[in-house]
Amino acid sequence: MTDDVRRSAGALGSILVIIPTYNEADNVAVIVERVRSAVADAHILIADDNSPDGTGKIADELAEADSHVHVLHRKGKEGLGAAYLAGFRWGIERGYEVLVEMDADGSHQPEELHRLLDVLPGADLVLGSRWVPGGSVVNWPKSREFLSRGGSLYSRILLGVPIKDVTGGYRAFRRHTLEGLGLDEVASQGYCFQVDLARRATHAGFTVKEVPITFVERERGTSKMSRAIVVEALWRVTAWGVQGRLRRLFARRR
């Protein structure tokens, strides 16, 4: 562990906020500044998928100016899940004790990060939730809200996961939690990546808690949500649910 990481260690230990980027030139400097203001001790890893709009260059400039900012340059656009997995491995190798998922576009408000960290001493994973009392979304069309609520409900029922916001991506993990999830076996992306990690954490017996957040739709740039991401989530969740039910059925017959 480096001296910089030791100096940032508090009651929870050293904190790394992982921010995947692809064409986020309008947002990356703003989100870094907000994180640094919200949780001064936290370190930030910008995992850039070779953005053609120059996001990676801006990230390098931020890192040169601030020892708490780091950049992981990736070879190309491989999806949200792959970027987070690379970020998790980078952070674990360098001894960070808490690893946070956060979007680059400001929809996950850095000013609310303390809510997740305040609960983490009594949990292995804390989720920022839009669908628990006190949680909300801002500037979303009803169709998007229906899709998100429906996806969480479908996943919760089919997978037996007692989490209200299964698809949410604002999360704080303890390092030992990530090390116990079998990350080498995770291949899913987008919504499905978040469902997969929540499913693995719950089934592994880790303590998972949710805290309310206000999710704000991005003001700059383009959303990465696509029909392909939704379709992948649907079929993977269905497959996991069927496999789980079959395993339980066979176990009862033995």
- What tens digit of pLDDT does each residue of 144-171 get? 888 888 888 888 898 989 999 999 999 9
All domains in the chain, ordered by first residue = 3-253 (3.90.550.10)
210, 126 in Cβ contact below 8 A?
yes
Please report the pLDDT score of residue 249 as a whole number: 60
152, 167 in Cβ contact below 8 A?
yes
**Lowest-confidence segment of 80-89, 107-116, 130-139, 243-252 by average pLDDT:** 243-252
Q: What is the dihedral of CA 49, 27, 225, 145, to 10 degrees?
A: 150
The answer to whether residue 239 scores a pLDDT higher than 70 is: yes
Please report the pLDDT score of residue 2 as a whole number: 44
- Residue type at position 216: V
Provide the pLDDT confidence category of residue 10 given band limits of 50, 70 and 90: low
H, E, C per residue of the chain: CCHHHHHHCCCCCCEEEEEEECCCCCCHHHHHHHHHHHCCCCEEEEEECCCCCCHHHHHHHHHHHCCCEEEEECCCCCCHHHHHHHHHHHHHHCCCCEEEECCCCCCCCHHHHHHHHHHHHHCCEEEEECCCCCCEEECCCHHHHHHHHHHHHHHHHHHCCCCCCCCCCCEEEEHHHHHCCCHHHCCCCHHHHHHHHHHHHHHCCCCEEEEECEEECCCCCCCCCCHHHHHHHHHHHHHHHHHHHHHHHHHHHC
**Lowest-confidence segment of 33-47, 150-164, 238-252 by average pLDDT:** 238-252
Query: What is the model's pTM?
Result: 0.87
The answer to whether residue 1 scores a pLDDT higher than 70 is: no
The answer to whether residue 176 scores a pLDDT higher than 80 is: yes
